[in-house]
């Protein structure tokens, strides 16, 4: 099931780009552009999470938040350009779940959204395990155990290797550029440079070869990696 996120933001450029970003990360996104009857519209959208700007024309995000709290416990993330202490305090008092200041870091924003959704809508253990497992051409990656499995054999992976494989599995069948991979690793707090990436990929290839998987990761010259 894809989670629905509602964006309440008055700047058209930001809300459209935010929509693209969130849709690119697998969420269903709605935009609220008429702020007069916010509460009714939010009820009819019934989103899983709301991204709320504080400075809206005609109404403050704080008011909308207290209106939401009157009927729902859904996670509310305040995104705002004012980072005064008062605003942060207000947002907590009114039941906001997170407070992120512009210009926000997309990696931090996405991580926050994911963790709030996970907390608010927990998935059962079985589902979680299946949801985590990724399979491609007979090889299954288990990020929670940090292992890769092929033909009933398992190989242990390091933190870096799991993240690299996770990114490749998510883009399975498409080329993943080295820069995108490095971006993804940095967003996961693994600060790896170009050389270290090559070293890690070679180590993964050795491990895969020991499982009998030859040529699983192909190098596309000047483009990136492909599985």
Partner 1 sequence: MSTAQYLKNRLPFLLVNVLCMVLLSVFLLLSGNSADSVFLILSVWVLILAAGLILSCIYRKREMDRLLAMTEQLSDRYLIAEVMKKPGRAEDQVYFRILKMAEKSMLEQVNAVRREQKEYREYIEQWIHEVKTPITAIRLQCENQRSDFSRELLAELEKVSQYTEQALYYARSEHAEKDYSIREIRLSDVVHQAIADNKYLLMQNHVAVEAEQIEDTVYSDEKWIRFILNQLIANAVKYRTEHPCIQIFSERRGDTVHLCVRDNGMGIPPEDLPRIFEKGFTGQNGRKRQNSTGLGLYLCRRLCGRLGIGICARSDESGGQGTEIVLSFRVDHFMRQVSD
Residues that bind partner 1 (CB under 8 A): 11, 13-14, 17-18, 20-21, 24, 55, 81-85, 88-89, 101-108, 179-180, 182-183, 186-187, 189, 191, 193-194
The two three-digit tokens of residue 170, written as one number? 């998510």
Of residues 183 and 206, the one with the C-beta less far from partner 1: 183
Residue written as token pair 């709320």: 52
d(CA 186, CA 181): 9
- The nearest distance, CB 23 to partner 1, in angstroms, is 10
- The nearest distance, CB 72 to partner 1, in angstroms, is 27
- The nearest distance, CB 81 to partner 1, in angstroms, is 4
In b/e form, how buried is each residue of 168-177, taking b as 16+ CB within 10 angstroms? bbebeeeebe
d(CA 103, CA 211): 45
- The nearest distance, CB 134 to partner 1, in angstroms, is 22
- The nearest distance, CB 211 to partner 1, in angstroms, is 29
Measure Cα distances from 31 to 48, 102, 176 in Å: 13, 18, 30
Cβ contacts of residue 40 below 8 Å, gap of 6+?
none
- Angle at which helix 178-187 crosses helix 106-120, to 10 degrees, equals 60
Of residues 108 and 132, the one with the C-beta less far from partner 1: 108
In which element (H, E) is residue 176 found?
strand 175-176
Of residues 105 and 153, the one with the C-beta less far from partner 1: 105
Nearest to 42 by CA among 67, 13, 11: 67
Nearest to 17 by CA among 141, 106, 126: 106
Asked if residues 100 and 82 have their Cβ atoms less than 8 Å apart, the reply is no
- The nearest distance, CB 28 to partner 1, in angstroms, is 17
Of residues 142 and 178, the one with the C-beta less far from partner 1: 178
């Amino acid at each position: 099931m894809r989670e629905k996120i509602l964006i309440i933001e008055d700047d058209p450029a930001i809300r459209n780009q935010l929509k693209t970003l969130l849709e690119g990360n697998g969420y269903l996104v709605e935009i609220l552009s008429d702020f007069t009857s916010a509460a009714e519209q939010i009820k009819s959208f019934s989103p899983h999470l709301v991204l709320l700007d504080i400075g809206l024309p005609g109404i403050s995000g704080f008011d909308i938040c207290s209106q939401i709290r009157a009927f729902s416990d859904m996670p509310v993330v305040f995104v705002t350009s004012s980072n005064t202490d008062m605003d942060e305090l207000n947002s907590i008092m009114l039941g906001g779940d997170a407070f992120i200041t512009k210009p926000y870091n997309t990696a931090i924003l996405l991580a926050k959204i994911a963790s709030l959704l996970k907390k608010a809508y927990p998935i059962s253990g079985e589902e979680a395990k299946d949801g985590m497992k990724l399979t491609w051409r007979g090889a299954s990656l288990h990020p929670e155990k940090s292992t890769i499995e092929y033909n009933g054999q398992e190989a242990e992976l390091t933190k870096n290797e799991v993240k690299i494989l996770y990114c490749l599995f998510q883009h399975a069948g498409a080329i993943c550029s080295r820069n995108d991979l490095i971006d993804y690793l940095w967003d996961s707090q693994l600060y790896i440079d170009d050389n270290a990436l090559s070293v890690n990929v070679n180590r993964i290839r050795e491990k895969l070869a020991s499982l009998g998987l030859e040529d699983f990761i192909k190098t596309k010259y000047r483009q990136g990696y492909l599985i």
